[in-house]
Amino acid sequence: MTHHSTDRTPGPVGSAHSPAPPTLVYVFAVAQDDATLQQRVLELDTFFGAPRLIRNEEGLTALVADVPRDDFEPGVVEAQLEDLDRLEELARAHHECVETAAAFTTLLPLRMMTVYMDDTGVLVMLADRADAFCRALRLLAEHVEMGVKIYADPDAAQEPLATPEAPRPHSPGRDYLKRRRAQRDRHASTYRAAGEAARHARTRASAFARAHVSHRLQGTQLTARRAENLVNDAYLVARADLADFAAAVTSSNAAVTGVSVEVTGPWVPYSFTDWAQADHTVQDARAAGSDFDGGPPPPRETTTAAPGPDRDPL
């Protein structure tokens, strides 16, 4: 959660002679000043209230809503966010507003719960970060985020046909070792196949992607599936290339039982907001995450976070 005062240095708003206003300004995203967005924002209605635009003279616009101070001032929201149901409610409402507005123009989404004391604080923010915002909006124009996830489920892999053997006396110990050996071979084979699928998917995806981020792996309690998540990547892809991107990446499935490649999206490019604002010319925006390429499964991080479109970008 981010709170900002009107001044460039944090300080209390209001005094004995100037009481604090009853509302704060919640900022969803930044965009270039756009006539279509100006018109369509009037049609939006969100959990946070009716959104509006704050525009500066340099052509930047902030998509905002006025929210009750009592619900969003420092200390109050932190306590509310300990309630996972409330956290989910806020995250979904934030995402729905950003996603709806993104259908009209290129947006740079800001972190959930970015709150300013008043409009002046928002204008100061737009001025201070104008260069980064303009650079980001140029890079993100006509691009969306696509997710690529790879799963492995060794128990779903087909066991090889057994070679007929001459009858032997029954031996529980020998039978157990045989089953364990077959299970170990099946696991190794599945993870090797998943590693090849990961290399293939990343090679194919890179041909279409402007940038790439590897996210934390998702535990089974987040994916609601038995298979292990071995790759959880995001790619910044031009809208015109979406069909070719999906076809190229899913060709890495290769009908391997126990390995699945899943393409999700398109989403608002939450994963690339920091990368797009940075002053660089690097193609790959890789973040800390999985670089799985076969062998034993990588360590899996179990996290509980606000729900996002495909992962937890907030």
Cα–Cα nearest to 60, from 130, 128, 9, 152: 130
**pLDDT on residue 212:** 94
**pLDDT on residue 185:** 63
**pLDDT on residue 144:** 96
Q: How many CB atoms lie within 10 A of CB 192?
A: 16
Is omega for the bond preceding 21 within 30 degrees of 0, making it cis? no
Rounded to two decimals, the pTM is 0.74
Cα–Cα nearest to 141, from 249, 272, 28, 302: 272
**pLDDT on residue 159:** 52
In terms of phi and psi (left: phi > 0; alpha: psi -120 to 50; beta: otherwise), the region of 21 is: beta
Q: Which residues of the chain have pLDDT under 70?
A: 1-20, 156-180, 182-186, 189, 220-225, 252-256, 279-314
Whether the Cβ atoms of residue 167 and residue 211 lie closer than 8 Å to each other: no
Q: In terms of DSSP bridges, do strands 2-4 and 108-116 run parallel, antiparallel, or are they unpaired?
A: parallel
Q: H or E segment at 75?
A: none
**pLDDT on residue 130:** 95
The H-assigned helical ranges of 216-309 are 220-223, 242-250, 273-277
